[in-house]
Structure 1
Amino acid sequence: MRLPTLFVPHGGGPCFFMDPDGGPSDPMWRPMERYLVGLIDSLPERPRAILMISGHWEEAEIAVHTGAHPDLLFDYYGFPEHTYRLRWDAPGAPDVARRAASLLREAGFGTREESARGWDHGVFVPMKVAVPGADIPLAQLSLRADLDPADHIAIGRALAPLRDEGVLIVGSGMRFHNLRVRGAAAVAPSTEWDAALTDAVTDPDPARRAQRVAAWRTLPHASFAHPREEHLLPLMVALGAGGAGQATRDHASNVLGWAVSGYRFG
């Protein structure tokens, strides 16, 4: 069965795990947390593996993580000590990583393999919520450091055959990511940006959808929403891999005054 592709918000740092006793997260984050909790059950079948693209890994050329048991990379700062002892011990998916690398090379993209880097918090924080049993193998794919939107949509298209092989392709980022603006000052522009981006992402014509999303900088408040676009680019990969399937927004919440969305393709 063909799996959809997803773009999910991964929150802020270890936002779902701030209570050292394992209690509920801050109420602000709970709608996003509930979305992630239900993610796997919302699929037509349980994936045999996940291929995840995080906004926290960039390389000059695309890298795929082929490690069998990756460590965690605690790439956030200033949080409580216990959040640097979190564990999510899912196995890696070297076979999926190498299959992804092969597909990308066939499509003309320079790709390399690596196995030393740990999974960053764009991977393990949302996956610790979505797959608490850590029982689905996962491979991580980097962004390409030039952050070209059309090329990242094409990268997603190259990866699309994985959807028929039991692999769930997940882009992990944030639909709004301006750390300098929070609270009331963010509400109106982030809401207008969210509406404009969602209209482009859910365009029923797949070709026009790709063109409009690749031209994201023309949308209202684009540079305000993303002073740098690394947290948006995982959306491009998920959209490209989603192909001609229907595109829908399947999550909406508000954190830090930011309107935040998640999307599903196919």
Structure 2
Amino acid sequence: MGFDYANDPKETYPIIKWDIIVNILFFSAWMWFKGNLIFQIVAVFLFLQAYIVSYYIFHYYKYDIPIVLVLISIFLWLIFFVLNSLLGEVYNAFLFICIAFTIYAVFSFVIRSKNYKAYLKANGPQPCPICGMEKWEHVFHLGQDMCRDCFEKRALSQVYYHDSLIFQWDYDVLMFIEKELGKEIPALDPVLNYTNPTQINPDELFGFVLEDRNITRLYLNNQKLRHLPPFIGLLIDLRELHLKNNKLASLPSSIFDLVRLRLLDYRQNPIKFRTGEIERALLNLMKRGCEILED
């Protein structure tokens, strides 16, 4: 027999945890049987230790301990102590241990019930903040929790931005980056469509390029950018990412998710140290055929 955490009522715990509780209760009964006033007082305190041990062993700090049960048990032992302070019969010890196990069983039942209810609430269908329906599958997208249906609708919906029709997913990411920069990122489609590509200097560009309503190129050169948001990895159709001449101290590991990226330029940035996670992300990008320009 085991005891249950709130997050998994089926998990069984080693018998040694119950053994601690049982030993405390039996030892307190043995001391009560001694009949000595000091022993009986110690027995009462030992019995109450069962609650304290339970608190730490079974992680009751997740819930409020039933204070009423503890107070009732203290009250019962005080009455029993006053009426039987001079008795030292085996019957008293037997009665002590019976009452002890009965009260502790009620205590355990209440906690188990609360654990199970909390488990059902945490693992059952949760209301979606967008549609209000209770759904099983939820997605955390750009700081907002939503059900998978709303997530897919939002990702596939389209909005107009600078007279360009763009997918909501890419637009959300773009708006977050704009918030980091403190200024709008313009669309560059007209510039690249009507200019000879060989005459374009990427260092002079600032904005994004669309293809099939997805952002495929992002030019953030010379913008004094100190931080690249990790959700840049959500631009899954991105092929070029230009970050030259900024103040970036590191790159987010989410660049690993840019599976279609073919060019990453982060030259002239004060990146002195790269974590192992970033190193692996860059290595995987190169294995996929991405050209990485760095100092």
* Higher helix proportion: 2
TM-score by length of structure 1 reads 0.24
Q: Which has the higher strand share?
A: 1
TM-score normalized with structure 2 length: 0.22
